[in-house]
Amino acid sequence: MIQAAHPFYDTPVFRPAGDRGLLMEFGNVIDPAINARIRGFADRLSGDMPPGVEEIIPTYCALILVYDPLATAPDTLIPGLTALNEELTARPQPAPDIVELPVCYHPDLGPDLAHVAEVHDLTPEEVVEIHTSPLYPVYMIGFTPGFPYLGGLPERLHTPRLSSPRTHVPAGSVGIANNQTGIYPIASPGGWQLIGQCPVKLFDPLKEDPILLKAGSLLKFTAVSLDEFRKIREENR
């Protein structure tokens, strides 16, 4: 985690992000309050995109606005964005969406579950109980298409990454790396401790909206049996 004495800026800091991007930084620490402001800002802008802005990308502590340099410029965008921030400061943030996803914590699908339990002097069942307890905020999407960076992993499950990453992690694998947990949307290399697998596709390029989870949502994991996992996976093919 990034640490800072003053995590929430009174006024956003603007920085260039290449020749087509403007970064609007709200703080310099991973914090739910900062991310809630980013979520409210993104929701507002998505419904009324400033002229020349083509895309909005939420991150942990900032928004990146991708713009057409032939249609607008940072000096044009910054005054309106600053005024909008002042307006939203006085408003309550919208309630986040809650998404529930099934996870099977069978050892065949979570090869590192026993190791995570042993490291923390827990049983595998206790690891599952702890892992399925929180509502995890989705701070941002990145790494691979649809990969959610989640906050809120209980400290009792903080576990270092693998010393040697796997060359192949199956799609849907649920893992832990240090103080974070997440889901691999597609098969890829990875070094997270794998404790289960989700049968629901997080990334489907054939859908109109290919990415299931959105920054600002809350994610709830629900434990399912191996038979339930297979049934749900077949229904989601």
User: What pLDDT, on a 0 to 100 scale, did the predictor assign at position 31?
Assistant: 78
Q: What percent of the chain has pLDDT over 70?
A: 94
User: What pLDDT, on a 0 to 100 scale, did the predictor assign at position 91?
Assistant: 63
Rounded CA-CA distance 21/1 in Å is 25
- Residue 5: is its pLDDT beyond 60? no
User: What pLDDT, on a 0 to 100 scale, did the predictor assign at position 90?
Assistant: 61
CATH superfamily, domain at 98-235: Cyclophilin-like (2.40.100.10)
- Residue 10: is its pLDDT beyond 90? no
Q: What is the mean pLDDT of residues 2-30?
A: 79
Pairing of strands 218-224, 136-141: antiparallel
User: What pLDDT, on a 0 to 100 scale, did the predictor assign at position 93?
Assistant: 66
pLDDT tier, 60 (very low <50, low <70, confident <90, very high otherwise): confident
Give the residue, 174 or 91, on which the prediction is more confident: 174
Rounded CA-CA distance 156/117 in Å is 10
Q: What is the mean pLDDT of residues 33-44?
A: 82
The domains of the chain are located at 8-89, 98-235
Q: What is the mean pLDDT of residues 176-194?
A: 95
Cα-flanking dihedrals φ and ψ of residue 114, to 5°? -65, -35
Q: Which of 68-72, 85-89, 125-129 has the lowest mean pLDDT?
A: 85-89
Q: Within 10 A of 170 (CB to CB), how many other CB atoms are there?
A: 14
Half-sphere exposure of 27 (CA within 13 A, CB side): 19
- Residue 216: is its pLDDT beyond 90? no
pLDDT tier, 34 (very low <50, low <70, confident <90, very high otherwise): confident
User: What pLDDT, on a 0 to 100 scale, did the predictor assign at position 3?
Assistant: 39
**Domains 8-89 and 98-235 fall in the same CATH topology:** no
For residue 140, give the 3-state DSSP assignment.
strand
Q: What percent of the chain has pLDDT over 90?
A: 66
Cα-flanking dihedrals φ and ψ of residue 113, to 5°? -60, -45
Place of tokens 């042993």: 118
Cα-flanking dihedrals φ and ψ of residue 101, to 5°? -125, 135
pTM of the model: 0.78
Q: How far apart, in Å, are the Cα atoms of 227 and each of 3, 52, 105, 132, 174?
A: 43, 50, 12, 19, 18
User: What pLDDT, on a 0 to 100 scale, did the predictor assign at position 74?
Assistant: 94
Q: Which of 28-32, 159-163, 177-181 has the lowest mean pLDDT?
A: 28-32
Is the CATH code 3.30.1360.40 the one for domain 8-89? yes
Structure token digits, residue 166:
């796997």
Q: What is the pLDDT of residues 108-155, one digit of tens each?
A: 999 999 999 999 999 999 999 999 999 999 988 888 889 998 989 999
Q: Measured over all CA atoms, what is the biggest interatomic distance in the chain, rounded to whole angstroms?
A: 59
User: What pLDDT, on a 0 to 100 scale, did the predictor assign at position 179?
Assistant: 93
